[in-house]
Amino acid sequence: MRFTTTLAMANDTIFGKILNGEIPCDEVYSDDLCLAFRDIAPTAPVHVLVIPRQPIESLRSAAASDQTLLGHLLLVAARVAKQEGLTDFRTVVNSGEAAGQTVFHLHVHMIGGRPLAWPPG
């Protein structure tokens, strides 16, 4: 029951709508576990989001059983970076509003194509 509620909520996000084809995206990679597409408001020449097909609200709500999936998302981010011709890139996962999360469907930002300052804001 709890899972059903979580699923319905997560599918209400903009990324849920992208996953079920309700709204389009600029896809760069897809497999059984995840989808990667270009961010609509890129912060760098390359800015791709990698999202699980399974609706997980945030990294903070991921479970031990998500371990393989989480590793897969990072490997796909690296694969897409290579596909985009990047050797240097940054991966970011914002968890929670105060950390900058605006879409509550877990996603990995893969950003590159320009020098990136550290620390972030």
List contacts with ligand AMP (CB under 6 A). Answer: 14, 25, 39-41, 49, 94, 100-103
Task: Give the 3-state secondary structure of residue 80.
Answer: helix
Quote the tokens at residue 3: 């899972």
End-to-end CA distance of the chain: 39
With respect to ligand AMP, which residue has the nearer C-beta, 25 or 34?
25
107 is catalytic: yes
- Least distance to ligand AMP, CB of residue 1, Å: 27
Residue 63 near residue 57, CB atoms below 8 Å: no
With respect to ligand AMP, which residue has the nearer C-beta, 25 or 110?
25
Among 111, 114, 108, 90, CA closest to 35? 108
- Least distance to ligand AMP, CB of residue 51, Å: 9
Q: Cα separation of 39 and 109, whole Å?
A: 8
Q: Cα separation of 96 and 76, whole Å?
A: 23
Say which of 47, 105, 107, 109 is annotated catalytic: 107
Q: Residue length, the chain?
A: 121
With respect to ligand AMP, which residue has the nearer C-beta, 33 or 40?
40
- Least distance to ligand AMP, CB of residue 19, Å: 11
Give catalytic residues, as residue numbers: 107
